[in-house]
A = this chain, B = another copy of it.
């Protein structure tokens, strides 16, 4: 999506040589060039698309991966703490957990501390599946490193790590 070059359209309307003969028309970003959000959105779309492509065979979305990874790292955490930690709306997280339970990957247990809350765990199947998912996610991270450069990737993680805290 990001790197599609318009070669297929070259030849039509070719009476004017430039700019349609070039691989990319020399367009200007205008005021967008001063908005970090614009550039963040572009790379974030690339990242999601590569993630979905690379993890196609395990049928997992980035948000589901985040949920499984945080449950694995913090077994028994509560549903509401998970929602706060990942910045996911509670109702949306509840639906995601429904799906992950149906697939047999995660389970909710009544919390010993708070009857209204649920403690979250991976199932054995969830642990096995997450292992495969992590191997594919590591491939995705290699793609991103190749695309962005190792140094920029590292610098951006360091700059963003404290953003949401």
Please indicate which of the listed interface residues A2, A24, A39, A141 has the most CB atoms of chain B within 10 Å of its own CB. A39
Find residues 57-88 in chain A having any chain B CB closer than 8 Å to their own CB.
Answer: 62, 66, 69-70, 72-74, 77, 80-82, 84-85, 87
Number of interface residues of A (CB under 8 A): 75
Given A29-B70, A31-B134, A117-B13, A40 and B40 contact (CB-CB distance below 8 Å): yes
Say yes or no: B89 contacts A25, CB within 8 Å: no
Say yes or no: B28 contacts A41, CB within 8 Å: no
Q: Is A51 an interface residue (CB 8 A)?
A: yes
Residues in B with CB closer than 8 Å to A147 are 163
Q: Is A160 an interface residue (CB 8 A)?
A: yes
Q: Which 4 A-B pairs have the closest CB atoms?
A: A30-B73, A39-B160, A13-B113, A37-B47
